[in-house]
Chain A
């Protein structure tokens, strides 16, 4: 029987969860402001003291495991060929590895693009393009330009396999720090990015947490395991699939509304529900994550504002909605405290859920063809999903969370959104840390998830 301390280093808060495997439950949770800019350990120690105070006992933990999304998380750039093919595929690979994709480049990299790559805050570049045996002209141009730019951060090449020698020659010549993975799209519309995901995680653990000052947290019984979103993905996967004789919940969707991004996870193949529907487009992965960098309640409030009709009469008359949103744009640490604040957050979070879901799910469209009406589906059909779980600061601490989550069902039209799911909430904010525990004690992690994620009352 072991005692684990699980740590989530967030941009704003450092969150702790203590677990006793004997009790198969949480002993306590605590949080404190993250101290990335000074020394990450200060915030950690503060949160730990808080935890000790709460549970009234100084536990010696057998193992301390951590995940991190501090300093804006894992920022990636993608360079690929066609926007709807290799560029989109590479973007999905990054998101599935827990990264946020800040820059997307398609076709030939221009000198302007190279300047952007050199001067922007990017952690890793994923360079792709061409199916195996496919395009060489544009992709090799991009390889050479990237090499000549001598990018100071790691580059992963996962494009046309016929160009691997070119990559080696040029990247060695200009001494780039690079990795080679199998092509993410070896043939049209078929995506394989397990290896790329693994490399991203490896780079994160060896280089990036060091650059962001999180490495110093590690010692003989303290380890950093994942970028936070990957940890949440692991927890979602475990909760959906179950472990050994302990059953899971089946296909599910998780929505994480935060200050900077809104992330959607779906576990399930989402194949067409009827035999007369034809599946088109890029292949989907069973465990899918999408990140919306323009949807968030604080850091991304400015871009979210564009989707909200701030002058709308539908909002309450006693609230100046425009001003309220601006308050959040200028103060990213703004903490909601009264009923009006919660109301504004509710409107904002609802929009995040609505749009993020729309971008995540597939669509169905019909055509009048030679044999009458033909249906074709692109992306995942998630209409039958029965479990939708809300997590993240933007949802958990929200008094209207059920109402906010219900926006998953909004605007059905051609979207293949969940139709009438049951809603759950990660009330103790432990999904991320349970992903960490699942690495060591999957059964305990699953039992805790099933116990602690609570169903929201029908209303």
Chain B
């Protein structure tokens, strides 16, 4: 069974969507480790090590995600998690910006997939299946 670590990064307390993600992924047959809201980069990384995760799915809804994930990929590599996939989704930047640019910036930061606002987790499932091979 593939393991996915989920949580909401930074000083962000949006708890509901995170629960929906947990429910949906579990129903799809994944082992989900939910570290909850107000999570730091280290919280994600440590949970990923203990659970030998295949994917880290970061949520951010309050607009400051871009600052919160700075250096995240580098830290993952430093912790031996270079092969773990990184996803991010939600309202990850301040204001209304072209998603094309946003996606490009986050991919440069090392994220494998970047999801725009209002993108349903159900729709993300097909990408997860594709990437994890299950």
Flag if B52 contacts A85 (CB, 8 Å): no
- Known: A131-B33, A188-B33. Contact between A369 and B62, CB under 8 A? yes
Residues on the A chain within 8 Å of B35, using CB: 188-189
Residues on the B chain within 8 Å of A376, using CB: 38
Please report which residues of chain B, range 28-74, place their CB below 8 angstroms from some CB of chain A when the two chains form the complex: 31, 33, 35-38, 42, 46-47, 49-52, 62-64
Please report which residues of chain A, range 64-89, place their CB below 8 angstroms from some CB of chain B when the two chains form the complex: 81-82, 84-86
Digitize A131-163: 1 where CB-to-B-CB distance is under 8 Å, 0 elsewhere. 101111100000000000000000000000000
Residues on the B chain within 8 Å of A133, using CB: 1, 3, 31, 51
Number of A-B contacts (CB under 8 A): 64
State whether the Cβ of B12 lies closer than 8 Å to any Cβ in chain A. Answer: yes
- Known: A369-B62, A370-B64. Contact between A134 and B38, CB under 8 A? no
- Known: A280-B38, A370-B62, A376-B38. Contact between A136 and B11, CB under 8 A? no
- Known: A188-B35, A189-B35. Contact between A130 and B11, CB under 8 A? no
State whether the Cβ of B109 lies closer than 8 Å to any Cβ in chain A. Answer: no
Instruction: Give the CA-CA distance A189 to B31 in the complex, in Å.
Output: 16
Chain A nearest CB: distance from B70 CB in Å? Answer: 17
Instruction: Give the CA-CA distance A376 to B35 in the complex, in Å.
Output: 14
Tell me which of A82, A278, A370, A371 contacts B49 (CB under 8 A): A82
Chain A nearest CB: distance from B7 CB in Å? Answer: 10
Flag if B62 contacts A188 (CB, 8 Å): no
Chain B nearest CB: distance from A403 CB in Å? Answer: 39
Instruction: Give the CA-CA distance A131 to B47 in the complex, in Å.
Output: 9
Tell me which of A185, A280, A374 contacts B50 (CB under 8 A): A185
Instruction: Give the CA-CA distance A131 to B52 in the complex, in Å.
Output: 9
- Known: A370-B62, A376-B38. Contact between A188 and B13, CB under 8 A? no
Flag if B3 contacts A134 (CB, 8 Å): yes
Flag if A371 contacts B13 (CB, 8 Å): yes
Tell me which of A81, A82, A189, A278 contacts B38 (CB under 8 A): A278
- Known: A82-B46, A188-B47. Contact between A135 and B52, CB under 8 A? yes
Instruction: Give the CA-CA distance A129 to B64 in the complex, in Å.
Output: 33
State whether the Cβ of A367 lies closer than 8 Å to any Cβ in chain B. Answer: yes
Residues on the B chain within 8 Å of A81, using CB: 49-50
Flag if B50 contacts A84 (CB, 8 Å): no
Which residue of the partner chain A has the closest CB to B64?
A370
Instruction: Give the CA-CA distance A369 to B37 in the complex, in Å.
Output: 12
Pull 19 A–B residue pairs with CB atoms less than 8 Å apart, ordered by A: A81-B50, A84-B46, A85-B46, A85-B50, A131-B33, A131-B51, A133-B31, A134-B50, A136-B52, A188-B35, A188-B47, A188-B50, A280-B36, A367-B11, A368-B11, A369-B13, A370-B64, A374-B11, A376-B38
Residues on B facing A (Cβ under 8 Å): 1, 3, 10-13, 31, 33, 35-38, 42, 46-47, 49-52, 62-64
Residues on A facing B (Cβ under 8 Å): 81-82, 84-86, 129-131, 133-137, 185, 187-189, 278, 280, 367-371, 374, 376
Q: Assuming A81-B49, A134-B51, A280-B38, what are 7 further A-B pairs, CB within 8 angstroms?
A: A82-B46, A84-B42, A134-B3, A368-B11, A369-B10, A369-B12, A370-B64
